[in-house]
Structure formats: C-alpha cells, structure tokens
Amino acid sequence: MQLSAGFAVAVAAAAIPTLTPHGYRMSNSSRAAQADPTPVHLEADLSQRQLTVYDGDEQAASYDVAIGSKKYPTPTGTYRIRKIVWNPAWVPPDRGWAKGKEAQDPGAPSNPMRAVKMYFKEPDYYIHGTNAPESIGDAASHGCLRMEEGDAANLARYLMEHGGQPRDENWFWRVLHFRSETKTVYLDNPISLTISQ
C-alpha cells in the first residue's frame, strides 16, 4: 500500500496525522494510542526503495524513499530511533563530498534536512525530509533515507505518538510556522528500524 502525505483518512485507526497548509490535523485515536502503546516498527527495503511502517503485524503506511548511493550506501541492520530533531540546522560533515558546502540554518530554503530528521545511527545516519524531492526512488543520498518533506513530518509525529512523546496540535503548528527554532525530542520508547537489501 503506497500512501502519500494526505493519507490520514485511509489509516485513521493508526493515528497518523496529515500535514496541511495550516499545520497538522490530529486523528481522534492519538490519545488511545498513547494510553495503549502498540508494537510499532519500521522496515526499509533498499532494493525496493521503500520504508514501511508496521503496527504489530499490520502495515500502517509505506513510503518511497531515496537511499544511499553506491559510493555512500545506507547501512543495513537493525537500529533504534530515539531522537527526532524538528527544524534541524545542516552542518556539512567532514567528508570529501561536503567540501566547500555552507552550513544551513533551520528553515533555510537550501537546508537539505527540511522539517525533520529522525536519527537511526548517530551521528551520521537518519531519515529526513529533502529539498530534492526528485531524488525519491533513487540511490542518491550519502547514506541517509530521504523522504518527501510532508511524509517525513507525518512519520516523525507518528513515531512521537507511539514512542511515548506525543504533542498537541498547537506544538506542531508552532514547529511548522517558526522554522528557525529547532526542537529536539527523545522518545521514551525507541522505535525499531530494520534496513535490508
């Protein structure tokens, strides 16, 4: 099942919100999901360039992603997502490919992280939005998993709700409208991510 940023109605039972021009619309099951945590986990299939969200044995959502290039592959294995950074700055890493690139402030149009990044192997690997949406479906990143910006924001909110750190609609509205302010969230219940070839 391939879902896009406007998929909340199709999976309302899974409590995944949708990004709208005015912020997020919360589903009615958000509080229930927090009161009764579910075994949410993620699986990334690099050969299919797909990231799938599972709630127990049920598939809740599936996203097209960009994966690492042959020169900079995405690491395989099982990881835990513990840290989510909203409106992250981008600091060029000390790598040859980033030589001469300038740091980008949170919310800057040229910031390649866009609205959010979700670390799975700190400090270098995360799931994040992208300012190059045409790269989705390709092996184009430096090892991270890239998503459409709205999809990444929806996923981050879902992980917060199911990882023990839910926020209300006003919190997300502020995050999305004050893009120069970075907010870091640590999940009480880290979410598993398995990446396979």
Write out pLDDT tens, residues 123-167.
999 999 999 999 999 999 999 999 999 999 999 999 999 999 999
| Full set of structural domains in the chain with CATH | 12-196 (2.40.440.10)
DSSP secondary structure letter of residue 52: E
CB-based contact 64:140 (threshold 8 Å)? no
35-78 confidence digits (pLDDT tens):
445 599 999 999 999 999 999 999 999 999 999 999 999 999 99
Three-class SS state of 137: coil
> By the 8 A CB rule, do 42 and 81 touch?
yes
Contact 60, 162 (CB under 8 A): no
pLDDT on residue 38: 53
Reading the block at residue 4, the tokens are 């896009």
Q: What is the pLDDT of residue 181?
A: 95
Buried b (16+ CB within 10 A) or exposed e, 19-49: beeebbebbeebeebbeeebebbbbbbbeeb
Query: What's the pLDDT at 16?
Result: 40
| Residue 161 DSSP SS3 | helix
